[in-house]
Amino acid sequence: MNILFIMYDQLRFDYLSCAGHPHMDTPHFDRVAKMGMRFTNAHTQSPVCGASRMSFYTGRYASSHGAQWNGFPLRIGEHTLGDHLRSTGMGCWLIGKTHMKVDAEGMARLGLAPDSIVGARQAECGFDVWVRDDGLWGEGPDGFYDEKRSPYNEFLNSKGYESTNPWADFANAGVKDGEKASGWMFDNADQPANIREEDSETPWLTLRAIDFIDQAEGPWCAHVSYIKPHWPYIVPAPYHAMYGADHVPEAMRDDREREDAHPVYAAFMGNKIAAAFQQEEVRQKVIPAYMGLIKQCDDQLGRLLDHLEATDQMDKTMIVLTSDHGDYLGDHWLGEKDLFHAQSVKIPMIIYDPRAEADVTRGTACDALIEAIDLAPTFVAAAGGTIADHILEGRNLRPWLHGETPEWRDVCISEYDYSSTPMRDVVGVSNRDARLFMVFDGRFKLIHAEGGFRPMLFDLKNDPSEFVDLAKADAHGDEIARLYDHLARWGRRMSQRVTRSDADIDSSRGKSGRRGILPFLKDGTEVPEALTKAYRGPAKQTFVAQSQKKDG
Amino acid sequence: MNILFIMYDQLRFDYLSCAGHPHMDTPHFDRVAKMGMRFTNAHTQSPVCGASRMSFYTGRYASSHGAQWNGFPLRIGEHTLGDHLRSTGMGCWLIGKTHMKVDAEGMARLGLAPDSIVGARQAECGFDVWVRDDGLWGEGPDGFYDEKRSPYNEFLNSKGYESTNPWADFANAGVKDGEKASGWMFDNADQPANIREEDSETPWLTLRAIDFIDQAEGPWCAHVSYIKPHWPYIVPAPYHAMYGADHVPEAMRDDREREDAHPVYAAFMGNKIAAAFQQEEVRQKVIPAYMGLIKQCDDQLGRLLDHLEATDQMDKTMIVLTSDHGDYLGDHWLGEKDLFHAQSVKIPMIIYDPRAEADVTRGTACDALIEAIDLAPTFVAAAGGTIADHILEGRNLRPWLHGETPEWRDVCISEYDYSSTPMRDVVGVSNRDARLFMVFDGRFKLIHAEGGFRPMLFDLKNDPSEFVDLAKADAHGDEIARLYDHLARWGRRMSQRVTRSDADIDSSRGKSGRRGILPFLKDGTEVPEALTKAYRGPAKQTFVAQSQKKDG
């Protein structure tokens, strides 16, 4: 079996027709949902690209792997999906984006050369790189562009897009009155990107994925990781014109949210991206472009699926469709992601398992509490490996896929470290306290903020839109205490005992006696004679007398 | 400045004359206490050798570094005291025991050769090895002896102690009626070890330390790490005869401790070592030997101190005397360590700081809540380095040493992972739940056991002997809740964000705009023109029209 692990960036869980979107038509996402199982209650481990991805790629919570925000390096030696899969004999390849930043200090300290196989894998969070491009090739005064190679920019140059940064000048900009109309400005989101559709990022990466599939040898896991529909919100024709104001749902927001808002929530509602999305004209321009980007993703997914079918690989390929987090798009008075309303913390999760055991669940939905970290152990098990559950903190989804109802977690945890954002200063906490934790049991959602604040609490049964923060009223103390107990238990979890499996511990238990370490004997009769044999018998020489003589 | 970081193994905090022992006379420990400061409330991070030491050597809690029991490898890449000190230009050397087990899987995965400098340091928890010997050279059927080289055994061979394991046959055995009288059997603890006193472990290591001091170049931290007074409880003449039954204090135990005992405590009270120490005759034999071992340590400390004075190094050498944990010696119906009564969790901690600023505290005691992990940052600061407090979880003791009263921690935390012990089966929990946590605020001590048990609670003000577990009575709910809050906060601590310092985060904050990443613009007027300059200007070529034409 191979694994096609497809990730979209910032794809909201409910912007798919199979998830009930009133205007999106995504026949190819729906096709996989029909072939497989759609998990309706899947959560990112952290609603920000870098931290979320490091959780997907390590199978561990953000607080466990420590790369808690964009650009925080994944520390040297952290076990990755690649490590786990390669030990089963499966390759683990990257085609697209990871947002990985290398732990250069750790590499130097351990003397790892970036151009060695070990060094390259450490630098790429465990993947072998077929092609990597993270997109977002900025060009500001402090530089970012050219910090790394951009295969996509090189491709555009080869296609005649003449610029040092064709990503910015063509793929993510339109033209208005002969001037560049940058996709960074929401005002330009209704323009078509100044690029041939087939040269834009999503088709380009799809072709790289098809190249990989055609050339790959041995069992493989391919992480096809699209940069879209992440901002800049701009899409080439004809996708730019497929959706309009009629397709923009009303913003899911409520005045009650702004009354006595939690200080952290208030800070996010007051940031620049929120201010932009609070303007209806921004939503009217951005959301159709966002939908066009998703529609293009869907078409390209169709192309990939067709290729698998045409090459007879569908029956031996597990397919996973997911995202690193969602996008508020003006809901809850917010833009971007970062917080824990469903729009941000929930992720699409559709899994096609080709095994016959999964026939019973094809086309069904599962509303169990799923975490992003569940994919890594699911993949290891699918590859025939033993799940190193002293390292991997997620749970194998196989039972759900095969129609069973396993013992399962009581709560989902998600985290957010906002120390690198301006909101830290607005809230007025230290970098160390600029952290949020979500505990969600399927009905009640508690959000804890470090720094001495009250929590937030939502009851999704009575308030599915998450408008009413029950913790404002100082009520529901029992629910709050119960969820805090879950958080405390999670905080004490065994997350770093990564060098000893339970099996190792079992097999070592009680061995010290057999190694000749006997710290509990009065006279030796307490244990089998074999254990003390080496310590009995005639003294070979006697030094005591000499010593005593000397001292005397 | 140099640092002489001396550790004794299993030295109980109250078996020193400066700590008030009624019968021990330890003039050299006292001499350092008079020159420096004695911390009366210092705690091990885990009352077991390996985990405790890995905390000393990383400056991190056991749950943070993950090497939570003896023989659990310290995972590859974990930052060590050696890493921190070497970056200040100070060498970090080992003379004696560490209990470090190499993460062989991690070494192999990262391609580190054990005989490279990097590999050797990884294998030795960051130390450069002057001499390493962990002692405890067992000789059982499963082998242990010869798993590593024993420089001490080689030394004994060179001195004419003929045996494949002279550690066991001479240094830790006596002679009775011409037969070996192994130190493993408590019955033999009153015998003199069959070795010339000057060849026994403590003097041998002292000489190695003097060799190091005489040959060391550049600023150094020397971890002189004695194996004694750890069991086997046997000591050469004349120390074997210095203490007798008159010097054995009554066991600190109370029948109330056995009534409705906490299941974990009950399991430990029922183990073999506890059963042995519940016999008065065992205490009568073992405790005088233990005291003799300490007396020998004191004499050898005097030798080291005299050497520093004779070579004019006392005014430029920080001296630290401590231990990895204590020894119950029958108190609380227990032997060994493992649990959190003062006899086990408290450690001696005496620090001589040669700097003039420390003159005001010489000869004084400090009862602040100290943790073992405080030494690493104290050393880094003393070496002139900046404390990497995103990695090091302890606190610099300098203010206390210099007579200040800093803001300080509210509670001490200590942990114990008993998954590798037979008590796990007695208690009947999973390996993952075989964990204990202590939270101590200076008066109340809470012990939490995973697995659904009630906690234990002691009030050391009204019950300094820790006989009365208040949690049995289902009272003191407020104290319990308050200490659980501390534990929960600790559980959520930032422990793995080791690749980003607070300073890094501060300097990166708000930089994305300057890198040209602009995800919040409606039309660009929101930010200085310089940030959007690269995204404006005439379109270089126009592809949109072509694309639209083609699609039309």
- What is the nearest CA distance from A36 to chain B, expressed in angstroms? 33
Answer whether B185 sits within 8 Å of A521, measured CB to CB. Answer: yes
Residue B552 pLDDT more than 50?
A: no
- Chain B residues whose CB is inside 8 A of the A419 CB are 502, 505, 509
- Chain A residues whose CB is inside 8 A of the B67 CB are 499
The full 3-state SS of A126-189, as one line of letters, equals CCEEEEECCCCCCCCCCCCCCCCCCHHHHHHHHCCCCCCCHHHHHHCEEEECCEEEECCEHHHC
Of A142, A437, A513, the CB nearest to B492: A437
Percentage above 70 pLDDT, chain B? 97
Nearest chain A alpha carbon to B63: A496
A152-187 b/e with 16+ CB inside 10 Å = b? Answer: bbebbeebebebebbbbbbbbbbbeeeebbbbbbbb
Residue A333: left if φ>0, alpha if ψ -120 to 50, beta else—which one?
Answer: left
Cα dihedral sign, B15-B16-B19-B20 = positive
Answer whether B185 sits within 8 Å of A75, measured CB to CB. Answer: no
Residue A405 burial (CB count, 10 A): 9
B543, B550, B551, best to mutate vs chain A, most A CBs in 10 Å: B543
* Residue A328 · residue A337 · CB < 8 Å: yes
pLDDT, averaged across chain A: 95
DSSP class of residue A331 equals G
- Chain A residues whose CB is inside 8 A of the B65 CB are 496
Residue B551 pLDDT more than 60?
A: no
Answer whether A506 sits within 8 Å of B77, measured CB to CB. Answer: no
Rg (CA), chain B: 27
Answer whether A520 sits within 8 Å of B271, measured CB to CB. Answer: yes
* Residue A470 · residue B467 · CB < 8 Å: no
Nearest chain B alpha carbon to A167: B535
Answer whether A77 sits within 8 Å of B74, measured CB to CB. Answer: no
Nearest chain A alpha carbon to B146: A515
Residue A160 pLDDT more than 60?
A: yes
Span A485-502, average pLDDT: 97
The full 3-state SS of B351-416, as one line of letters, equals EECCCHHHHHHCCEEECCCEEHHHHHHHHHHHCCCCCCCCCCCCCCCHHHHCCCCCCCCCCEEEEE
- Chain A residues whose CB is inside 8 A of the B299 CB are none
Residue B217's contacts (CB-CB under 8 Å, 6 or more residues apart) are none
Of A111, A145, A180, the CB nearest to B536: A180
- Chain B residues whose CB is inside 8 A of the A505 CB are 419-420, 431
Of how many residues is chain B composed? 552
Residue B83 pLDDT more than 90?
A: yes
Nearest chain A alpha carbon to B64: A496
Q: ∠ CA(A326), CA(A66), CA(B449), 5° rounding?
A: 105
Going by pLDDT thresholds of 50, 70 and 90, the confidence category of residue B137 is confident
- Chain B residues whose CB is inside 8 A of the A238 CB are 548, 551
Residue A256 pLDDT more than 70?
A: yes
Residue A340 burial (CB count, 10 A): 28
Answer whether A145 sits within 8 Å of B532, measured CB to CB. Answer: no
Going by pLDDT thresholds of 50, 70 and 90, the confidence category of residue A475 is confident
What would the pLDDT profile of A109-148 be if each residue is shown by its tens digit?
999 998 899 999 999 999 999 999 999 887 766 655 556 6
Answer whether A111 sits within 8 Å of B112, measured CB to CB. Answer: yes
Nearest chain A alpha carbon to B123: A110
B162, B432, B497, best to mutate vs chain A, most A CBs in 10 Å: B497
- What is the nearest CA distance from A3 to chain B, expressed in angstroms? 23
- Chain A residues whose CB is inside 8 A of the B438 CB are none
Rg (CA), chain A: 27
Going by pLDDT thresholds of 50, 70 and 90, the confidence category of residue B513 is confident
Of A417, A492, A542, the CB nearest to B450: A492
- What is the nearest CA distance from B4 to chain A, expressed in angstroms? 25
Nearest chain A alpha carbon to B114: A110
Inter-CA distances, B376 with A258, A390, B41, Å? 47, 28, 17
Of A68, A196, A425, the CB nearest to B547: A196
Span A349-358, average pLDDT: 98
User: How many helical (H) and strand (E) elements, i.e. helices and strands, does chain A have?
Assistant: 20, 16
Residue A325 pLDDT more than 80?
A: yes
Percentage above 90 pLDDT, chain A? 89
Count of pairs with CB atoms under 8 A, one residue in A, one in B: 398
Amino acid at A255: D
pLDDT of residue B148: 65
Span B414-431, average pLDDT: 96
User: How many helical (H) and strand (E) elements, i.e. helices and strands, does chain B have?
Assistant: 20, 16
Answer whether B106 sits within 8 Å of A499, measured CB to CB. Answer: yes
- Chain B residues whose CB is inside 8 A of the A543 CB are 161, 170, 194-196, 199
Q: Give pTM, 2 decimals.
A: 0.96
Of B199, B530, B546, the CB nearest to A196: B546
Answer whether B536 sits within 8 Å of A182, measured CB to CB. Answer: yes
What would the pLDDT profile of A77-99 be if each residue is shown by its tens digit?
999 999 999 999 999 999 999 99
Nearest chain A alpha carbon to B520: A273
Going by pLDDT thresholds of 50, 70 and 90, the confidence category of residue B544 is low
For A445, the enclosing helix (H) or strand (E) is strand A444-449
- Chain A residues whose CB is inside 8 A of the B172 CB are none
Q: ∠ CA(A479), CA(A480), CA(A485), 5° rounding?
A: 95
- Partnered with residue A414 across adjacent β-strands are A438
Q: Where are the beta strands (DSSP E) in A207-304?
A: 220-225
Both tokens assigned to A366: 């599962």
For residue B468, which phi and psi values (nearest 5 degrees)? -110, 105
Going by pLDDT thresholds of 50, 70 and 90, the confidence category of residue B223 is very high
Answer whether B492 sits within 8 Å of A497, measured CB to CB. Answer: no
Of A136, A484, A505, the CB nearest to B431: A505
Answer whether A118 sits within 8 Å of B109, measured CB to CB. Answer: yes
- What is the nearest CA distance from A98 to chain B, expressed in angstroms? 17
Of B424, B484, B541, the CB nearest to A162: B541
- What is the nearest CA distance from A357 to chain B, expressed in angstroms? 31
Answer whether B185 sits within 8 Å of A524, measured CB to CB. Answer: yes
- What is the nearest CA distance from A114 to chain B, expressed in angstroms? 12
- Return d(Cα A426, Cα A449) in angstroms, integer: 14
Going by pLDDT thresholds of 50, 70 and 90, the confidence category of residue A392 is very high
pLDDT, averaged across chain B: 95
- Return d(Cα B431, Cα B421) in angstroms, integer: 10
Residue A264's contacts (CB-CB under 8 Å, 6 or more residues apart) are A418, A423, A427, A436, A449, A453
pLDDT of residue B142: 61
- What is the nearest CA distance from B323 to chain A, expressed in angstroms? 19
Residue A498 burial (CB count, 10 A): 25
Nearest chain A alpha carbon to B485: A488
What would the pLDDT profile of B13-35 be if each residue is shown by its tens digit?
999 999 999 999 999 999 999 99
Cα dihedral sign, B193-B198-B204-B209 = positive
pLDDT of residue A546: 46
Nearest chain B alpha carbon to A119: B110
Span B124-128, average pLDDT: 96
Q: ∠ CA(B12), CA(B16), CA(B19), 5° rounding?
A: 95
Residue A259's contacts (CB-CB under 8 Å, 6 or more residues apart) are none
Residue B213 pLDDT more than 60?
A: yes
Of how many residues is chain A composed? 552
Answer whether B534 sits within 8 Å of A168, measured CB to CB. Answer: yes
Of B110, B273, B536, the CB nearest to A112: B110
